[in-house]
Structure 1
Amino acid sequence: MYTLARYARNSVAVIKILYFLMFAALAAWSTYFYVFLEDERGLTGVQIGLIAAVQQITNIVFLPLWGMISDRYGKRSVFLLLLGISVFLLYGFIVQGSFLYYFFFMILFAALYNPIGAIFDTFAITKAREKTVKTTYGEMRLWASIGWAFASLSTGYFVEKTASLSIIFIIASVLLAITWIISFLYLNKKREVLSNQSPSLKTIKTMLFENKNLLLFFLLIMVYYILNSPTLMFINLYYKEIGATNTQIGIAFAVQSIFELPFMFYGKRILNRFGVRRVIMATMVVAAVRMLLYGMTSNPWVAITIGVTHGITLGLFIVAVIEYTHHIVPPSQNSTGQTLMYTFLGIGTSVGNFFNGVLKDSIGLKNAMIIDAVLVVFLVVGAYLFLFFRKSKEKIKAHS
């Protein structure tokens, strides 16, 4: 007999497999993408920074737009559409082009590719909250880290064997094609709860300005991502700057992903134990220490060891912000809320990518790491004082 419990187990397994494949595909091309632009296309740090910035800045428009469209017309249909298009778009990067070609092609690619992960997160979060499901969101999401680690190592092997970085896009496309087939056959065929609101800027404005806590939270994580961007989009160029080989870069990304696993698995328990605000502040402090240590070493193996903190600065951080966002937006607007959160992260990453692209060409990424670490410390202190005085003010009002 096909019980609800059995259906829940099978659907959770499908989500885990899809997380593995999607993030394996992402790791296959993104781990070496900026190295590809520098080594095989001859772009400068500023040019790479601009491409990295536009890769994220498209999120300002397209993440909320696709989030609202998926809330209105169905997450499954929109997810399959964007995923299918991305399978073929990846081959556009292989074209021998100039800076302007890659700049404008990235706008097209990011507009269709970037929303995929945010939309899929809503499947996992919704599934984790079903009564028959005993698996947390973090336990499902950790398979993304496993996929990333696997692809980082295996792609590095193929790059070394073929002596061509173009192969990263072929590997990623094949993995996404497999993802699409499994999604089409098995992903969430139940009837969805749809929003009755048509996609509009008014929906976003209402969500943000009628919920000041949500807006302030998004602004905080946006500024943090401006400063933390060297450990995200530019980390492969940092490794190249200190003399790492492509194999070592692959190992570095694999190590980062492996150490995400415990924080994905136990993330919900950590949040329940310490509270989401404290956890987010703690991840920022660890990020500052991490960047400071990166700035103090020129040994790739030491830098790889420092990367074990990635589980805290990204894995635990993402679990915390996704859970917090999910709690404070209406159920019918989950996709909009999640994509809006990623939009603010994208804005921060965009500004940070350009800022650190300029620093790379002027003082190098090692020195940029130290500057960003100091600024993150100021951000954490400022955010803590803001929250402290705000709580004190609320208590005064409560007693008056």
Structure 2
Amino acid sequence: MPRWKVNLAVLWFGNFMVTAGMTMITPFLSLYLQQDLGVAGAREIGVWAGFIFAANFVTSFFFQPLWGKLSERYGRKMMLLRSGFGMSAVMVLMGFAAAPWQLLLLRGLNGVISGYTPAAVSLVSATTPKEKMGFAMGTLQSGATAGTILGPLIGGLMADTFGFRPIFYITGSLLFLASALSWLMVKEKFDREAAANRPQVGMLRGFGELIRVPQLPALFTVTFLIQFAMLSPMTLIPLYVQRLHGTTDDLAFWSGFVGSVTGFSNMFSAPLLGRLSDRIGSVRILIVSLIGAGLLFIPQAFVGSVPQLLVCRFLLGCFVGGLIPTVNSLIRRHTPEGRDSRAFGFNGSFLALGNMVGPVVGGALSGLIGIEGLFLVSAAFLLAASAWTYRTLYRPARETGR
């Protein structure tokens, strides 16, 4: 098997384990706070759960560019292992938390040392042939999507079987296994002596150099808009399903089904759209995916039943599979040589920012416009992103004949 395929297969598994581990606690976080950490009262539990869940994204937003900079000095694989082994240790420590503030600090620490996915993206992009880049990015993204889908399901099943604390020990062990496989099987050609002799610049100056490349600010903005649009209505979907379903029978099942069906179609469409982007161009796939996803948010505001919502969400996932992978592919194409790790680090910050701001703004706006309005807002953001992409990426490339 070619080296780039070995790297891709191992990092697909690592990506799956990291995202699954980060989402396994979602189904039982409130119960863990109540039953094991002694938090009482629905309001207090809700406040702690919100802060603990968000802590990972807040610290990740600030530290991703730092790890991107250091990967240029010490190598992508080194940052991959730092993140993987570090997160496995922090995950185990979460199982020993005796108070909610300890869990909050550990989630924040997890965000500080996170960065496995950006490092994996950077490493795959550096070792994959250019003509296979779209396929590789799509396949790698499908691993993260699979972890996001199956993480809460696995976490819920393990909570019923083993209790809450053992889940952290099991997850930490699996993260350790994924990191060990990455250490043993992933190969990277990295010249440390040349990297040490390369002029080093600070993060702010480095960011300034990157945004002078006209395509990169557009891609960072598109990453933020994608995450914002996808996550702003997400927390309210169970209530929307309850209203459409009209009864409490099987409500949990239908809510979970609606929440996961987008991920399932995304998981299968990402490699296919990636392969197609290798043939017809990443920018075209990105624009079509943004338009398709934007248009499919609109009927979700007007559905009259859960099956109709399921169809819309499934089709939405088919287009979502072409978003982040093509953005990553385009970042690699337009980033100056030797600065791709830093570019992926900054893009990770914009992704984390969308993860933070989307649910907060969505919750604030829902009281004014309802979840139906949030679907329309998401549609507007994605359609605006498609116009922005056409103006800043597609039209200049066509005019220059590239």
Q: TM-score, normalised by structure 2?
A: 0.76
For 2:104 and 2:203, the matched residues in 1 are separated by 26
- CA RMSD of superposed structures (Å): 4.1
Aligned to 1:19: 15
- Contact 1:356 1:365 (C-alpha < 8 Å) held by counterparts: no
Tell me the CA shift for residue 248 of structure 1. 4.9
Aligned to 1:107: 108
For 1:365 and 1:199, the matched residues in 2 are separated by 46
For 1:37 and 1:279, the matched residues in 2 are separated by 42
Deviations 1:281-332 (A, max 9, x none): 3333333344444444586555444332353454210111000000011332
Indicate which of 215, 218, 233 corresponds to 1:216. Answer: 218
Aligned to 1:204: 206
Deviations 1:156-202 (A, max 9, x none): 4334556x666654443232122122122222265456642436224
Aligned to 2:83: 82
Aligned to 1:65: 66
Indicate which of 225, 228, 235 corresponds to 1:226. Answer: 228
More displaced stretch, 140-149 vs 324-333: 140-149
> Relative contact order (C-alpha < 8 Å, sep 6+): which is higher?
1
Cα distance, 1:388–1:227 mapped onto 2, change above 3 Å = same
Counterpart secondary structure, 1:242: helix
Q: Which runs of 5+ in 2 are unaligned?
A: 243-249
Cα distance, 1:46–1:316 mapped onto 2, change above 3 Å = farther
Q: How does 1:155-304 map to 2 (within 5 A)?
A: 155-161=155-161, 169-188=168-187, 190-192=189-191, 195=195, 196-198=198-200, 200-230=202-232, 234-235=234-235, 238-239=237-238, 242-243=241-242, 248=254, 251-252=257-258, 254-272=260-278, 274-296=280-302, 302-304=308-310
Deviations 1:327-346 (A, max 9, x none): 01133222111111121222
Paired residues, number: 383
Tell me the CA shift for residue 385 of structure 1. 8.2
Letter matched to residue 184 of structure 1: W
For 1:89 and 1:381, the matched residues in 2 are separated by 39
Letter matched to residue 372 of structure 1: V
- Contact 2:21 2:151 (C-alpha < 8 Å) held by counterparts: yes
Cα distance, 1:204–1:230 mapped onto 2, change above 3 Å = same
Aligned to 1:376: 381
Q: Which runs of 5+ in 1 are unaligned?
A: none
Counterpart secondary structure, 2:335: coil
For 1:323 and 1:105, the matched residues in 2 are separated by 33
Aligned to 2:127: 127
Tell me the CA shift for residue 279 of structure 1. 2.8
Letter matched to residue 176 of structure 1: L
For 2:121 and 2:70, the matched residues in 1 are separated by 16
- Contact 2:293 2:379 (C-alpha < 8 Å) held by counterparts: no
- Contact 2:134 2:276 (C-alpha < 8 Å) held by counterparts: no
Q: TM-score, normalised by structure 1?
A: 0.76
Aligned to 2:245: none
For 1:240 and 1:160, the matched residues in 2 are separated by 24
Quote the sequence identity (%): 16
Tell me the CA shift for residue 103 of structure 1. 5.2
